[in-house]
Amino acid sequence: MVGLLRHHVFRRLYGAHVIHLLGNEFTFIAVLGLLKELSGSGLSFAAGTVFRFLPYVVASFFAGPLLEKWEKRRVMVVCNLLRGILVSLFFWITDAAYLWAVYAVLMMVNVCSAFFNPSMQVVIVQSVEPQSRLSANSLITGTNALMMFIGQGIAAYLVYAFSFRFNFLLDAGCYFLSLLFLLRLPAIQTPHADAKTRGFFGRLLEGFRYVKTNAPIRKVLVLQMMERVTGSYYVLLMFFILEERHQPLYLFGLLDIPLGIGGVLAGLLVSKWAELLHPRRIDALLAGALWVISISVWLMFHSGHAAIWMATTFFLAIASFSLGILSVTRLQRLADPAFLARVFSVREMVCMGAYSLSCLAIGWGTEWLKSAAIADGIAGFGIVAGVIWMLLRTKAAAFDGKN
């Protein structure tokens, strides 16, 4: 993985990614503090998640065809400049009457993210050799987890010692600092199909038809959607710790430390062993990851001990991050380069759509049920999802064998 950093394009992209990820962790816990200060209901936490991801889903619907025409470096620079300006606005929202402004800023920040993330995926595919993409994805995912570990540790301390509001300014500074790396990237264009004959809506429909007719890609997207539904446990965990257990905000932030450690370990394990395994073994591991997530969620919400919360978070992180690395790498290999931006935009749309709807359902459920009862439903879904994935892959293997 270290050899990837010798590639100047990937190294600069990676540097920008590390810096703005660190800032994201500052803002994540600070937004929770802001919502708790202005409202404090389980529905407000869920609404905060929905207003983060619903505009992301809608913007992703249009992002793919637009990104094919736009130069990727410029897109990423503009997105991080806008995100830096927007997150600094949170610092000034102090009255519950302006709760709507929190949601509005969250929406605009995530519209920018809907264009930034597929752009970054395209740059990774274009700058990294196919045989090195699993290592690249492992490095980025492991770094995501490491920044979660470092960022939440720092953010939790800042919240405990000072005020969560200063975290917003730190995040803005990280976005601006990341521009120094992005501006040094070369101009990056993408080959696209029928560029001269198809307009925006033609390319949009063509992208959806491509995904619809490509069964292997569809199955990977279904897997990622199911994982995102189980991932909505995180919103429930906010309510469980802050409202049901009445624990301080910094304790919730500290739970991201085992989450980060587990993610780093997942990146190391996948990069070392995944290439040695037969695809059918990897399919079994993906189903197993869903089952580990389910068991961890159930244990987490049926225990009152912080040590159990941390242990289950650690194992959940290994499973979730491993599933993410393997499925993204498979998607990169399956997608035609001419459709890459559109495929990843569809991925962002359906995965974040599933996550948003799940979070909204959980937020509504907390008004009527205890967290443990909702966790039972999430865990049960994850078990069934693992079985569905194995059935899909078994059916595909049988079909391939006949042909």
16-27: per-residue pLDDT in tens?
888 888 888 788
d(CA 112, CA 105): 11
% of the chain exceeding 70 in pLDDT: 90
Q: How far apart (Å, rounded) are the C-alpha atoms in residues 50 and 36?
A: 16
Higher pLDDT, 177 or 256: 177
pLDDT of 198 above 70: no
Kindly report the three-state secondary structure assignment for every residue of the chain: CHHHHHCHHHHHHHHHHHHHHHHHHHHHHHHHHHHHHHCCCHHHHHHHHHHHHHHHHHHHHHHHHHHHHCCHHHHHHHHHHHHHHHHHHHHHCCCHHHHHHHHHHHHHHHHHHHHHHHHHHHHHHHHCCHHHHHHHHHHHHHHHHHHHHHHHHHHHHHHHHCCCCHHHHHHHHHHHHHHHHHCCCCCCCCCCCCCCCCCHHHHHHHHHHHHHHCHHHHHHHHHHHHHHHHHCHHHHHHHHHHHHCCCCHHHHHHCHHHHHHHHHHHHHHHHHHHHHCCHHHHHHHHHHHHHHHHHHHHHHHCCCCHHHHHHHHHHHHHHHHHHHHHHHHHHHHHCCHHHHHHHHHHHHHHHHHHHHHHHHHHHHHCCCCCHHHHHHHHHHHHHHHHHHHHHHHHHHHHHHHHC
Quick one: average pLDDT of 370-379? 91
Which whole number is the average pLDDT over 85-91? Answer: 92
Query: Does 197 score more than 70 pLDDT?
Result: no
Q: Is 190 a domain residue?
A: no
Assess if residue 185 is contained within a domain: no
Q: How many CB atoms lie within 10 A of CB 47?
A: 22
Q: Residue 192 — very low, low, confident or very high, per pLDDT cuts 50/70/90?
A: low
Angle formed by the axes of helices 99-127 and 42-69, nearest 10°: 40
Higher per-residue pLDDT: 177 or 208: 177
**pLDDT score of 189:** 59
Residue 335 lies in a domain: yes
User: Do 341 and 188 contact (CB within 8 A), yes or no?
Assistant: no
Confidence of residue 46 (pLDDT cuts 50, 70, 90): low
Contacts of 285 (CB under 8 A, 6+ apart): 277, 322, 326
Q: Is the pLDDT of residue 300 over 60?
A: yes
Tokens of 7: 């590639």
Query: Any idea which residue has 């595909």 for tokens?
Result: 396
**For the chain, how many structural domains are there in total?**
1
Report the range of poorest mean pLDDT among 62-66, 205-209, 230-234.
62-66
pLDDT (tens digit per residue) in 382-401: 999 999 998 887 765 543 44
**Contact residues for 70 (Cβ-Cβ < 8 A; gap 6+):** none
Flag whether 136 is in a domain: yes
Q: What is the per-residue pLDDT across 98-151, written as a single tens digit (0 to 9) for each?
A: 888 888 998 899 899 888 988 888 888 777 887 777 788 888 877 777 777 777
How does residue 44 score in pLDDT terms, banded at 50, 70 and 90?
A: low
Question: Which backbone phi and psi does 58 adopt, to 5 degrees?
Answer: -65, -45
pLDDT tens digits for 304-329?
A: 788 888 899 999 999 998 998 898 88
What confidence score (pLDDT) does residue 350 get? Answer: 87
Distance CA 276, CA 282 (A): 10
Give the pLDDT score at 237: 85
pLDDT at 289 exceeding the cut of 80:
yes
Q: Does the residue 191 lie in any domain? A: no
What is the pLDDT at residue 398? 45
Query: Is 187 part of a structural domain of the chain?
Result: no
Containing domain of residue 345, as a range?
A: 2-177+198-398
Q: Does residue 301 fall inside a structural domain?
A: yes
| Contacts of residue 364, Cβ cutoff 8 Å, sequence gap at least 6 | 43, 46
Nearest Cα residue to 233 out of 147, 299, 318 = 299
Residue 195 confidence (pLDDT) = 46
pLDDT average, residue stretch 252-271? 82
Cα separation, 153 vs 167, in Å, equals 12
Cβ 340 vs Cβ 122: under 8 Å: yes
Please give the pLDDT value at position 45. 61
CATH classification at residue 303: 1.20.1250.20
pLDDT of residue 402: 43
Mean pLDDT check: name the lowest of 173-177, 234-238, 299-303, 346-350.
234-238
Is residue 403, in this structure, part of any structural domain at all?
no
> Per-residue pLDDT for 377 more than 90?
yes
User: What does pLDDT average to over the chain?
Assistant: 82
